[in-house]
Amino acid sequence: MTDTLFLTSAAVSDLATPDAYVDAVRDGYRERGHGAPAQPRSKFLRSDPEGMFTSYAAILPETGAMGGYMYSAGFGATDAWFMTPLFDADSGEPLALLDGASMNPFKTGAAGAVAVDELARDDAETVGIIGTGPQARGQLKTTATVREFTDVRVYSPTAESREDFAAEFDETLDATVRAVDSSEAAVSGADVVVTATTASDPVFDGDALDPGTHVTAMGQYSRDARELDTTTIERATYVPDLRERATVDAGSFLAALDAGVVTEDHVHAELGEVVAGTEPGRTSEDEITVFDSGGTGIETVAAAYMLYERAREAGRGTTISFASASEALTG
């Protein structure tokens, strides 16, 4: 038997600041760039009741942890539930089981922030946000730790949502945050664009991007749905979280591939390769860059292990016991 820490969402919600998530996730992607194993998600769909069950995993040898996410979305509860098992990368013993709900926007946002730090211009100060949900909030909170933004424009189709979002962040960020009434107004002239939506079709016109813009797209991981149009993909240096995912469920890239405007060689590098320095990031001021984030075990394991260590130091959580296979089979 081994003792394993169980951590509720509430137990870890105040353990780390956005910049701490970014630091942990950056280290995770650096490990990936040096060969740490990770694969795209496995996704199972059901139509009645409609829902999705999905999982993904990674091993971070330097961190000393492995694990990932298993979660359901939809079904009869019409909600999402996130379960994060964490194992010791050397012994294989279970370290912790986390309710991943509260960390989800921050660990995903941290991946986007790492991409902004690696791919956006150093002088980027204007950001356009398309989307106003928890993921958009997580993206802005984390991304604001890697650049000193002065102007933030936010758009969503619902006026009340974008106004509430702008009012909330205008009070907490050292920037002017304002709601705009179209995606073009959010994108035009922006140094950084973040899309965090549930849209199935492109949310802005790629011709509206100025030279030198960086785009982080994180709202879709489905072959049949996309936030970015073929023009954006064609114009950009394209960096996914995992190279393999680009041809599995990166809908924006697959649409551009199907349209014949790019080939598979258009994948410039994985984010981890850029972070590790094995592949270049931005090479010119006028270059348009895209980070296509579909979610991986890399940011999940990195963030979960950081929270696990902090929870132990703070005396948080409860202990549950697991039996090893040999104990269970012979006991």
* pLDDT above 80: residue 174: yes
What are the E-state strand segments in the chain? 2-7, 42-47, 50-60, 65-74, 79-88, 94-99, 126-130, 151-155, 176-179, 192-195, 214-217, 237-240, 289-292, 318-322
Please tell me the predicted confidence (pLDDT) of residue 245.
94
* Token pair belonging to 326: 């040999």
Please tell me the predicted confidence (pLDDT) of residue 250.
94
Banded model confidence at residue 331, pLDDT cuts 50, 70, 90:
low
* Token pair belonging to 58: 């990674």
Nearest-angstrom CA–CA distance, 159 and 38: 39
Q: Is 59 helix (H, G, I), strand (E, B) or coil?
A: strand
Phi, psi (deg, nearest 5) at residue 43: -130, 130
Side by side, the strands of the sheet bearing 214-217 are: 176-179, 151-155, 126-130, 192-195, 214-217, 289-292, 237-240
Q: What is the mean pLDDT of residues 184-196?
A: 97
- Domain covering 119-292 in this structure, CATH number: 3.40.50.720
Long-range pairs for 157-160: beta carbons < 8 A, 24 or more residues apart:
158/132
Please tell me the predicted confidence (pLDDT) of residue 221.
81
Nearest-angstrom CA–CA distance, 3 and 6: 10
Please tell me the predicted confidence (pLDDT) of residue 38.
97
| Cβ-based neighbour number of residue 92 at 10 Å | 9
Superfamily of the domain at 2-104+297-330: ornithine cyclodeaminase, domain 1 (3.30.1780.10)
Nearest-angstrom CA–CA distance, 210 and 190: 7
Per-residue pLDDT of 24-69, as tens digits, reads 999 999 999 999 999 999 999 999 999 999 999 999 999 999 999 9
* Token pair belonging to 246: 């680009």
Please tell me the predicted confidence (pLDDT) of residue 327.
86
Q: What is the mean pLDDT of residues 149-161?
A: 97
Nearest-angstrom CA–CA distance, 144 and 262: 32
Per-residue pLDDT of 1-28, as tens digits, reads 899 999 999 999 999 999 999 999 999 9
Nearest-angstrom CA–CA distance, 61 and 301: 11
Residues 207 and 184: beta-carbon distance below 8 Å: no
* pLDDT above 60: residue 286: yes
* pLDDT above 80: residue 329: no
- The pTM (predicted TM-score) of the whole model is 0.95
Nearest-angstrom CA–CA distance, 59 and 135: 25
* pLDDT above 60: residue 262: yes
Helix axis angle, 18-33 to 134-143, nearest 10°: 80
* β-strands 151-155, 126-130 pairing: parallel
Q: What is the mean pLDDT of residues 210-225?
A: 90
* pLDDT above 90: residue 224: no
Nearest-angstrom CA–CA distance, 75 and 46: 8
Q: Compute the mean pLDDT over every residue in the chain, rounded to the nearest whole number.
A: 96
Residues 146 and 116: beta-carbon distance below 8 Å: yes
Banded model confidence at residue 77, pLDDT cuts 50, 70, 90:
confident
Question: How many residues belong to the chain?
Answer: 331
What are the structural domain ranges in the chain? 2-104+297-330, 119-292
**Considering only 77-81, 192-196, 269-273, 316-320, which range has the smallest mean pLDDT?**
77-81
Higher pLDDT, 109 or 77: 109
Side by side, the strands of the sheet bearing 318-322 are: 42-47, 50-60, 65-74, 79-88, 94-99, 2-7, 318-322
| Cβ-based neighbour number of residue 211 at 10 Å | 10
* Token pair belonging to 202: 């492109």
